[in-house]
Structure 1
Amino acid sequence: MALIHPDSVHSPYYNPNATAYDLVERAIDGSFARIRSLSKRVAGPNDLAFRAGLIADNRGVAFLVKISVGTPPAQQLLLIDTGSDLFWFQCEPCISCFKQSLPIFDPAKSSSYSNILCNSIACDISTRECDSDKKYCTYSYTYLDGAGTRGNLASENVTFETSDEGTIVIPIRMVGCGHENSGSIDGQQTGILGLSHNLSFIQQVGSKFSICIGNVHDLQYQYNQLVIGDDSVLEGNSTTLDVYGGHYYVNLQGISVGETRLKIDPGAFKRAPSGQGGVALDSGSGLTWLKGDGYVPLQNEVQRLLDPRLRRVKYGRHIEFLCYEGTVQKDLQEFPVVTFYFEDGAELILDVDNMFLQIKPNMFCMTVVQSDPKFQGLSLIGVLAQQYHNIGYDIPGKKLFIQRIDCRLLD
């Protein structure tokens, strides 16, 4: 499936009046809300059924996919989220729904739609919630940023595109048909494609997927892609993948700036038995958040390289940012590559476009920020760091593959 950046010219709801700096502000605000939500989930991952930290109003750097559901197929535009485990879309009858430009899905018009019964095994292993008549299984998904969805759990046919420009219909045994929904404000997405492994449709289609992202600031770029199943691109060096509480964790062992290996305690990024701490990959956060023990050495080295010739400035209320006066293109031409080293030899290579963001015409900031202690020690590797990489998730094999590549070469 082609991934569509919501601000790109390839989005059916592209807004030509939004400036580049308006989009940057959205990305930053979305990342702050994102880690607040996900860190609360880490503190109690089993608090509620279907509880997750989703930015449902599509703030920040996020991607949409076009698929169709039902028979006959009805097109949907879904936000992908590796931190969410439910595949859901808005449904009629709509008790309360957010605005969407595509028609709201009507299950009464689909011959393949079927509500899951209350006394079924599927309901018992998922929510154990039922409607007022105790007939059909329901769900209530409460997001920690105030958004949410409530409706029926159902089985339904889903139509995906294939690599040879054809289509394939897959019966999905558990989707959410949302009758009461809130959170989206821009009228683009019709629901969420949850890629977390807990109760998600990823378990139903092979437990493998890959995400390739190019330059998120190139609004003409059309090669971002999501591949699910056996054709997933699992190439490049691999590292151990650990699935816990709906997050995809990796063992980050060190960071270098150019030839300088930073002095970071090997235990700085370990996840505790209680679930706190650790490093997770996230498709919903633009920024990368590092626990203080790992962030401070990186900040110090960046300052050592930039302070002698550039003036440091503050960016609004976001005092956690390391910002300088100038432009990325002009002032960072000689800045060295930053490398994240993972267990078993996999590397995530960050050049200046991964590491820095032009906030204003004459101000840029580092895209790696310090994770507040109240975020339970959680570190996130966000989308800006994942640019120019294909990330392959082999869940049964417990491997994450990282390959730096131009996504157009995967076609």
Structure 2
Amino acid sequence: MFTPLCIVIIVIASIYQFSCSVAQCNNHGGFTVDLIHRDSPLSPFYNPSQSPSERLQNAVRRSIIHANRFKSSALSPNTVQSSITVNKGEYHMKIALGTPPVQILALADTGSDLIWTQCNPCYGCYQQRAPLFDPQSSSTYRDLSCSSERCEVLRFRTCSSSDVCQYSYQYDDQSYTNGNLATDTITMESSTCGETVAFPEVVFGCGHNNSGTFEEDGSGVIGLGRGSMSLVSQLGSSIDGKFSYCLVPTSAENQSSKMSFGCDAVVSGEGVVSTPMLFKSTDRLYYLRLEGISVGDCKLEYKSHSPSDDSDENEGNIVIDSGTPLTFLPPEFYPQLESALKAAINQEPVSGHHGSLRLCYRKTTDLVLPNITVHFTGADVVLTPLNTFIDWEDDIVCLAMLPYDDPGLGIFGTFSQVNFLVGYDITNQKLSFKPTDCTKLQ
């Protein structure tokens, strides 16, 4: 049972205090924060005038846009763009920045490696409801110099006349953020302990010129990817290289999902399966190896037809992502899955326009949807219809999977991850799944 034990740890380090009551786990602490879905009543992005099916339809549209970030062209080392479509993601988390702390609601994204927020003075900033972060009001804020190690990690940087490192990020949709690379204290509130945990000298982008498709209720991005600038990489040994999340179904409107760090993020016990984290064209993303999919007892083996996939078993062929609702399968493999589902389901598919979704059925009392097992290397993940079909309309359900238009690559989206405790062990390079009723982790 997921029951963190909280005891008080006081870390004496200059004027900083590690202020959360946390559990001791291999000499590392653990804490848990709320992960808020954009369509939850707990989110400022929530639109009460939309029906549940309308929200799901919008999630499908966001998926199509969002999936473009993982195309080979977007991940080329010669491209300027970061691999996210800003503030159109699915989950947000609250952090506080600076001393005294200023609360920020930012997009939490495993496909990005930069933490940034809008800062005063702002010379070309998008409209934001919350007050902008003022670095001059924080006693712990420090600009980084151009000669600093963190500055040299950036591929796109300039140097001010006062030797301040300046970053520049452009996103897939041509939105951008420019500003100073700096450090400050980040504070998060633990939903399990009811206390706060503070991390000093976290590197982030203090954006003084930001524009594009940003939404006014958001305050920036929290990168959770593999890159050295992401939050999880910077917290490193203080969280024992571990984080996890448990996503509640969209029907659980008044409950937040949970993201855990450190020993709270350990995924263990009955039903856990684990698969290696692998690499492909970038070290920013979390890749897995898809070996096949089963529909009931019918197993479909995945054999890539892409010339870019050299059948190297140490190379990933599917990204696990927190920002894309749908699951996308390699285009040479998806038709096999669709054919197997048609053979297994006791009804004829319905025709008509259902957005981009290709396989839909009318909901009747005798409709039986099969489980789908996704076979990763060393891990068989059993998906129920909750993970694989969504209510497109009141009387229509559709498969929440599509073919991806980049051969040899897929995306394991958030619908497929609902009601799983998903654990990222960066230190041991493995990812774990445990079937879990995430609504009970409140």
Fold similarity call, TM over 0.5: yes
- Taking a change above 3 Å as real, the CA distance of residues 187 and 349 of structure 1, as seen in their structure-2 partners, is farther
Give the aligned partner of residue 335 of structure 1. 369
The counterpart of 2:430, out of the listed 399, 402, 411, is 399
Alignment match, 2:59: 27
Equivalent residue runs for 1:319-398 within 5 Å: 321-327=357-363, 330=365, 332=367, 334-344=368-378, 346-372=379-405, 375-398=406-429
1:267 CA displacement:
7.7
2:279–2:315 contact (8 Å) kept in structure 1: no
SS of the aligned residue for 2:222 comes to: strand
Q: Does 2:350 match 1:312?
A: yes
Q: Which digits, 9 at most, give the CA deviation of each residue in 1:225-259, with x for residues without a partner?
A: 11123431333221111244111111111211112
Deviates more, 1:178-187 or 1:351-360: 178-187
Q: Report deviation, 1:10.
A: 1.4
Does the 8 Å CA contact 2:273/2:381 hold for their aligned counterparts? Answer: no
Aligned to 1:302, what secondary structure does the other structure show? Answer: helix
CA distance change for structure 1 residues 64 and 128 in 2, over 3 Å: closer, same or farther? closer
SS at match of 1:247: coil
Contact 2:279 2:316 in 1 (8 A): no
CA, structure 1 residues 149+185, in 2 after alignment: closer, same or farther (shift >3 Å)? closer
Q: Confirm whether residue 252 of structure 1 aligns to residue 285 of structure 2.
A: no
Whether contact under 8 Å (1:214, 1:387) holds in the other structure is yes
Structure 1 distance, partners of 2:141, 2:188, is 17
Q: Per residue, is there more helix in 1 or in 2?
A: 1
8 Å contact kept, 2:327–2:402: yes
1:117-196 alignment, distance < 5 Å: 117-127=145-155, 129-133=157-161, 135-162=163-190, 163-196=192-225
Higher alpha-carbon deviation: 32-41 or 159-168: 32-41
Q: If the length of structure 1 is used for normalisation, what is the TM-score?
A: 0.89
SS at match of 1:358: strand
Query: 1:287, 1:383 within 8 Å by CA — same for their partners in 2?
Result: yes
Structure 1 residue 172, shift from structure 2 partner: 3.6
Distance in 2 between residues matched to 1:386 and 1:22, nearest whole Å: 21
- Counterpart of 1:363 in structure 2: which amino acid? I
Q: Which residue of 2 aligns with 1:240?
A: 276
The residue type equivalent to 1:401 in the other structure is S
Distance 1:292 1:24, change over 3 A: same
Conserved in 2, the CA contact under 8 Å of 1:264 and 1:297? no
Q: Which TM-score applies when normalising by structure 2?
A: 0.83
User: What is the root-mean-square deviation in Å for CA atoms of aligned residues?
Assistant: 2.6
C-alpha separation between the residues in 2 aligned to 1:153 and 1:255?
44
- Residues in 1 aligned to 2:111 and 2:317: alpha-carbon distance in whole angstroms: 14
Task: Provide, for residues 256-292 of structure 1, a one-character-per-residue CA deviation record: whole Å limited to 9, x for no partner.
Answer: 1112212443788995489997111011111100012
Gaps of 5+ in 1: none
Output the CA distance in 1 between the equivalents of 2:218 and 2:310: 36
Distance 1:269-1:76 versus aligned 2 partners, 3 A rule: farther
How many angstroms does 1:323 deviate by? Answer: 3.1
Aligned length: 398
Match of 1:298 in 2: 337
**Structure 1 stretch displaced more, 204-213 or 398-407:** 204-213
What SS does the corresponding residue of 1:83 show, helix, strand or coil?
Answer: coil
User: In 2, are the aligned partners of 1:90 and 1:105 still within 8 Å (CA)?
Assistant: yes
Cα distance change of structure 1 residues 65 and 81 upon mapping to structure 2, 3 Å threshold: same
Q: Letter of the aligned partner of 1:112 in structure 2?
A: T
Aligned to 1:212: 246
- Does the Cα contact within 8 Å between 1:196 and 1:247 map onto a contact in 2? yes
